[in-house]
Amino acid sequence: MPAITQEQIDAIDAVVEGMMTDLGVPGTALGVVQNGELVYAKGYGVTEIDTDNPVTPQTIFSTASVAKTLTASAIMQLAEQGKVDLDAPLTTYLPYFEMADERYTEITVRHLLEHRSGMPDFDWLAPGYYDNPDNSDSALEELVRSLKTTELLSEPGESFSYTTMGFGLLGHVIEVVSGQSFENYIHDHIFAPLDMESTHQRLTDLDFTQMASPHIPGTDGSWIVNPVFPYAREEGPGSHFYTSVQDIAKYAIAHLRQ
């Protein structure tokens, strides 16, 4: 590792520990990348409130929408290989993609990457939304086929509207173009080349003893443990993967070197 002084380490620790105190955060992990290398990695606090399980640089955290960068990276890999045209209509790759709004034919891959497709988002707050998550191999294709009665929020390319659903469509583009499942493509072309051995996309692949528990504020303002969201597979390209500071630093370094 390049040199990092004890004075710098002390300053970093003071900032992190101060923020944890101010916000009441049970645990966190930090990595510092400098000149293409991880120069400092440390865990702070505990993985779960009211336990003494320490956070370490190997502790697994849910990354939520950081997953969108994986999907974007995969699309750009395929674009660089000439397999995906960013400005081609989505129907070029997904001919069975249809919406109630006839403007759907104008949606391009680039529109989805930029959140300018006019697509709506998942109805996260709908009662029972997480009761029966679809983790089947066909989940991303089923998402595409389920949109025939859905309307657009705006003209494609006209305005910004954040949508995780749009990244689900991109995930299926990756499947169709590569001939692999979304998860296998990401593993083979991003995780494996970067030696991200502790990083996974499915809850079933996780060792929960190594994972930091999610927490939410209770009614009295104190933290309570919240179950890990049972994300459906259709949300994967836009809303979840699970990794450690040591692994995510490798991913960051790969992008910083581009």
Locate the domains of the chain by residue range: 6-64+196-231+238-256, 66-187
Q: For the chain, what percent of residues have pLDDT higher than 70? A: 96
Biggest distance spanned by C-alpha atoms of the chain: 61
**Once rounded to an integer, what is the mean pLDDT over residues 26-37?**
95
For residue 46, the model assigns a pLDDT of 97
**Once rounded to an integer, what is the mean pLDDT over residues 210-217?**
90
Pick the CATH number of 66-187 from 3.40.50.10490, 3.30.1490.100, 3.10.310.30, 3.40.710.10: 3.40.710.10
Higher pLDDT, 225 or 87: 87
pLDDT surpassing 80 at residue 131: no
pLDDT surpassing 60 at residue 28: yes
pLDDT surpassing 80 at residue 53: yes
What b/e sequence results for 199-209 when a residue is b if at least 16 CB atoms lie within 10 Å of its CB, and e otherwise?
A: bbbebeebeee
List the alpha helices (DSSP H) in the chain.
Answer: 6-23, 67-80, 109-113, 139-145, 164-178, 182-186, 236-239, 245-256
Q: What is the pLDDT of residues 75-114, one digit of tens each?
A: 999 999 999 999 999 999 999 999 999 999 999 999 999 9
For residue 130, the model assigns a pLDDT of 67
Of 1-15, 145-159, 195-209, the range with the highest mean pLDDT is: 145-159
Q: How far, CA to CA in Å, does 227 sit from each of 6, 212, 257?
A: 38, 11, 36
Q: Which residues contact 98 (CB under 8 A, 6 or more apart)?
A: 104, 147, 148
Q: What is the pLDDT of residues 169-189, one digit of tens each?
A: 999 999 999 999 999 999 999
For residue 127, the model assigns a pLDDT of 72
For residue 125, the model assigns a pLDDT of 64
pLDDT surpassing 70 at residue 2: no
| Lowest mean pLDDT, pick from 37-41, 160-164, 172-176, 201-205 | 201-205
Amino acid at 18: G
- Residue 17 Cα to chain centre, angstroms: 26
pLDDT surpassing 70 at residue 129: no
Of 198, 202, 216, 174, the residue nearest 81 (C-alpha):
174
| Lowest mean pLDDT, pick from 29-43, 174-188, 217-231 | 217-231
List of long-range contacts for 220-227, beta carbons under 8 Å, 24+ apart = 222/24, 223/24, 223/26, 223/49, 224/49, 225/48, 225/49
Q: How confident is the prediction for the chain on average, in pLDDT?
A: 93
Of 117, 202, 108, 198, the residue nearest 152 (C-alpha):
117
Higher pLDDT, 235 or 181: 181
pLDDT surpassing 80 at residue 235: yes
For residue 258, the model assigns a pLDDT of 75
Residue 167's CB is within 10 A of a number of other CB atoms, namely 25
